[in-house]
Homo-oligomer: A and B are copies of this chain.
């Protein structure tokens, strides 16, 4: 119900009391489960992260690491763009809760870090990547990818411009990971 109301009326203008009223419940009853709008955001975002994870599970692990890195980033970017187009209220939520340290944010970052790190580890084993510290390399790569993955960076950009940017930034990261200078 919270997701439905945020979607139709906008995150900022819906209070917990509105959600309770729409459910025919007392606000106290909603507060029992969600102590704040922020905890509702956490629950809704966790659901979207599960969906994203399910999409990522379809990626082909048999390809060379550099291609897998590109596939992962492209798929995540497209997933975020779909979310932004279909659920603009999600974007408002992300902006308004950016300062709060939400559990779902940590889960998303951990999930992304683990996925990128697995690809880099596989690339090192295959002899494609020269990096030695895969955790740090994955972390740095994810920072560099903010320009194609962070909602704020992609929300007002055209899809074809983003597709080019995604290809070029992943190529830059792949060049770095295959460089003799990689750490």
Contact B172 A176, beta carbon cutoff 8 Å: yes
Name 18 interchain pairs, CB-CB below 8 A, sorted by A: A98-B156, A139-B168, A140-B168, A140-B169, A140-B171, A141-B172, A143-B147, A143-B168, A144-B147, A144-B172, A146-B146, A153-B153, A172-B173, A175-B176, A175-B181, A179-B179, A179-B180, A179-B181
Residues 114 to 171 of chain A near chain B (Cβ within 8 Å): 136, 139-141, 143-148, 150, 152-153, 156, 165, 168-169, 171
A178 within 8 A of B: yes
Among residues of B, the one whose C-beta sits closest to the C-beta of A171 is B183
Among residues of B, the one whose C-beta sits closest to the C-beta of A166 is B143
Residues 15 to 64 of chain A near chain B (Cβ within 8 Å): none
A12 within 8 A of B: no
Q: A144-B145, A144-B147, A146-B147 are in contact. List 15 more A-B contacts (CB 8 A).
A: A98-B156, A136-B168, A139-B168, A140-B165, A141-B172, A143-B165, A144-B169, A150-B153, A152-B153, A153-B153, A171-B183, A172-B172, A172-B173, A175-B175, A179-B181
